[in-house]
Structure 1
Amino acid sequence: MKKIIRYVAIILACLVLLVLSGAYFYLKNLNPGYGQNSENQSSSLDTPKPAKHEPVNILILGIDGINKTDKGRSDTLMLLTYNPDLKKATLISIPRDTRIKLDRYGYQKINAAYTYENEQGSMKAVSDLLDIPIHYYVKIDYQGFIKLVDDIGGVKVNVPLQMDYDDDAGNLHIHLKMGEQVLNGEQALGLVRWRKGYVDQDLGRIKTQQLFVKAFIDKLTSPAAVLNAQKILKTINEYVETNMTPSEALSYVDDALKVGKNIKMYTLPGEPKYIDGISYYVMDEEQAKELLQEVNVENNDKNSDLQNGALDAIKKYGLDPSGIKIEVLNGGAPPNSATEVGNMLKDYGFDVKRISNISGTEYSSTQIINRTDNTDIGKMLSEVIGDSVIINDPDPSLGVDVTVIVGKNYKQ
């Protein structure tokens, strides 16, 4: 049964953002006052917290303990990264045999970090291995998966083939008929664990897991699931452990629901090797660096530079952002671009009065239209937003100081 956690963790890791935000959502529905004082809560581990617009890195730990008194091992390690600016989430699986060097224990397999120093040891090991900050951890076990499926009333999926397997010693029994059906927790566990009979072998199994993930998320976010809020909350509290506070989880709620079905999955590049008679998985450092760049894990410095540049511009012109009224319009940029720019300006303290679209006209470049006689306002906003054209066209009748038209060049 220990290997079950590998497959369960893949599914649950894809749902971490949903589960974390869901915990707050269900708590909020059960107790309207929940979270109001959560700023006073602190994480259980002393870890760095991401700044606004900075990617957040969450380490997923799948523990193979058979009960609550069994500490178990980190049989599965995965890095979930969410980029709030790009609205992207990616998942990198880290093989448990990955070779690392621990400060006090020498060369070890990465799953030993949890054995020696619990969650904090695993977070440090992954941070040192990939040279990135790990902001949060989430620890799960396969029993939580079974419970969640049962709590939401099962999940309807199309089982791709007949599945029959019995292992009395391991107390594992899988009996599923081919075709569409509603699976309970134990049956769903069998589905995602099944490996035999696929024409394309592991690729077939992965496709089945992804099919289940989509069906699970659809059911978890359905109105019917809210009716089981108390059960779901109890399961989350009992089986999901994290150092993320409720208020921190709340900050990712809206985006979690949007990206939950579109998480890209990768495996840490490397190859198996025997070193001193021990089988390891040795990371390919160059390929790993390229992968991290691809999934935007390493753009923390870039985001920090952008944020610092905006703050420097506001400071340079000596203007109070709260006194500058702005309207943001989408003039041909990708959908939701005006909302992103508007939210960014709100974060910097500007008074964003409205966000809307322009119909029938597309602008190749973002425009900052200054409606006042103070030309510094246009200059400052151009530096805050970047790559834009300044137009001075005073018009106090519009009720705003600046019109920002987000053009097609946004984020290009």
Structure 2
Amino acid sequence: MSKRKKWTLIIAIPLLLMIIIGAIYVNYLYNKTENMVTDSQEKVGRENETSELRSKSVDPVEDNVSVLFIGVDNSEFRDEEESRSDALILASFNKQDSSVKLLSIPRDSYVYVPEVDRYTKINHAHFFGGPRATIETVENFLHVPVDYYAKMNFEGFIEVVDSLGGITYDVPYEIWESDSNDDKNSIHLTPGEQQLNGEEALALARTRKYDNDVERGKRQQEILKTIANKAISASSVFKVGETIDAIGNNMTTNLSFENMKNFLSYGLDENITIETMNLSGDGGYMEDGLWYFHVNEESKHDIRAELRNHLDLEENVETSDFANDEENNNTY
């Protein structure tokens, strides 16, 4: 055998083995993800599983769609099914522009909750009726359809960050915060860019003592973007299996495996843009002695118009079927 053939074999055999191993790994991850999504399935419980604000069913392949991300507290001191949502982020996806808009909804927002036919904090909706009641409340509040949802508990958030080896984040100020077991001041972070583990990232995402609900929402958006960037980085390729386990054990969603595959086009597009949005307003104590965040009506209307436009829906909304927006302006 000539030297040239020998060197060809020396190079080709390892390369072939890497391709085979890569194919096996990809197939393994594919099957693992499919099983994870199947096990996490939980329908909303509405007619044809379609929003009442839609004239027909939608498909992420062909349509602009929305996903509501619900973060719930499931520490040992709380039952997840009767817990309040601690984070609500509504994402709209536009196929034509390859763009995503992320709206953080303050957890103490004073809104009408259809499930109990009264006004209260938006995070109470999950306590009264889980994802279905939360989706109905968000749709009534914004008059924007919620096509899909994904609910994850805090344990899942922690495990996802840890499975990725932590995240690098620029902490804005010194914080002392409880961990997921409610151990007071067990998390201490100093200002500056640093590596955060799951518990530390959760504490930073949850804290409200150092600014306000709006700033907290912005921080959550940035942390989620940081986690997403870490997850799709080359350094995380062989950590995907652990991440899938972390998600699957702690998530419920009405997204099917086919739906999720259809969102890949956004992640694979190098020109994708992600814009964060926030509602403005102010807060105070009301007659019941509780503190509420009152969303500015003009801000809400502007956000509503922008989201509906991003979903390619008519901007003019018939509000006769919804609770009166003006009641949100009750004095306090």
Structure 1 residues 160 and 117: alpha-carbon distance in aligned structure 2, compared to 1, 3 A threshold: closer
Indicate yes or no: 2:198 matched with 1:189. Answer: no
- TM-superposed CA distance for 1:76, in Å, is 2.4
Structure 1 residues 220 and 271: alpha-carbon distance in aligned structure 2, compared to 1, 3 A threshold: same
- TM-superposed CA distance for 1:73, in Å, is 0.9
Indicate yes or no: 2:148 matched with 1:119. Answer: no
- TM-superposed CA distance for 1:114, in Å, is 1.5
Q: Pairwise mapping of residues 369-408 of structure 1 onto structure 2 (< 5 A)? A: none
The gaps in structure 1 that reach 5 residues or longer are 1-25, 304-412
CA distance in 2, matches of 1:128, 1:257: 33
With 74-83 and 182-191 compared, the bigger mean Cα shift is at 182-191
Counterpart residue number, 1:58 = 67
Indicate yes or no: 2:232 matched with 1:233. Answer: no
CA distance in 1, matches of 2:297, 2:131: 24
SS of aligned partner of 1:216: helix
Counterpart residue number, 1:374 = none
Structure 1 residues 98 and 145: alpha-carbon distance in aligned structure 2, compared to 1, 3 A threshold: same
Paired residues of 2:115 and 2:133 also in contact (CA < 8 A): no
- TM-superposed CA distance for 1:70, in Å, is 4.1
Counterpart residue number, 1:14 = none
Give the letter aligned to residue 50 of structure 1. Answer: V
- TM-superposed CA distance for 1:108, in Å, is 3.0
Q: Pairwise mapping of residues 73-88 of structure 1 onto structure 2 (< 5 A)? A: 73-88=84-99
Structure 1 residues 285 and 228: alpha-carbon distance in aligned structure 2, compared to 1, 3 A threshold: same
TM-score by structure 1 length? 0.54
Counterpart residue number, 1:255 = 266
Paired residues of 1:214 and 1:261 also in contact (CA < 8 A): no
CA RMSD of aligned residues (A): 4.1
Pick from 275, 278, 281: which aligns with 1:267?
278
CA distance in 2, matches of 1:63, 1:145: 10
Counterpart residue number, 1:349 = none
CA distance in 2, matches of 1:121, 1:35: 27
CA distance in 1, matches of 2:218, 2:134: 29
Counterpart residue number, 1:365 = none
- Identify which of structures 1 and 2 has the higher relative contact order when contacts are C-alpha pairs closer than 8 Å and 6+ apart: 2
Paired residues of 2:89 and 2:102 also in contact (CA < 8 A): yes
Indicate yes or no: 2:149 matched with 1:141. Answer: no
Counterpart residue number, 1:394 = none
Paired residues of 1:157 and 1:181 also in contact (CA < 8 A): yes
CA distance in 1, matches of 2:178, 2:34: 46
- TM-superposed CA distance for 1:185, in Å, is 2.0
Counterpart residue number, 2:141 = 129
Per-residue displacement from partner, 1:348-377 (whole Å, max 9, x unpaired)?
A: xxxxxxxxxxxxxxxxxxxxxxxxxxxxxx
Bigger radius of gyration, 1 or 2? 1
- TM-superposed CA distance for 1:141, in Å, is 2.2
Paired residues of 2:164 and 2:231 also in contact (CA < 8 A): yes
CA distance in 2, matches of 1:247, 1:210: 26
Paired residues of 2:144 and 2:304 also in contact (CA < 8 A): no
Paired residues of 2:114 and 2:133 also in contact (CA < 8 A): no
Counterpart residue number, 1:223 = 234
Q: Pairwise mapping of residues 292-303 of structure 1 onto structure 2 (< 5 A)? A: 292-297=304-309, 299-301=311-313
CA distance in 2, matches of 1:156, 1:147: 16
- TM-superposed CA distance for 1:183, in Å, is 3.0
SS of aligned partner of 1:114: helix
Structure 1 residues 32 and 116: alpha-carbon distance in aligned structure 2, compared to 1, 3 A threshold: closer
Counterpart residue number, 1:342 = none
Paired residues of 1:113 and 1:122 also in contact (CA < 8 A): yes
Counterpart residue number, 2:16 = none
- TM-superposed CA distance for 1:103, in Å, is 5.4
- TM-superposed CA distance for 1:122, in Å, is 0.9
Count of aligned pairs: 273
Paired residues of 1:73 and 1:115 also in contact (CA < 8 A): yes
Pick from 121, 136, 143: which aligns with 1:109?
121
Same amino acid, percent of matched pairs? 27
Counterpart residue number, 1:174 = 187
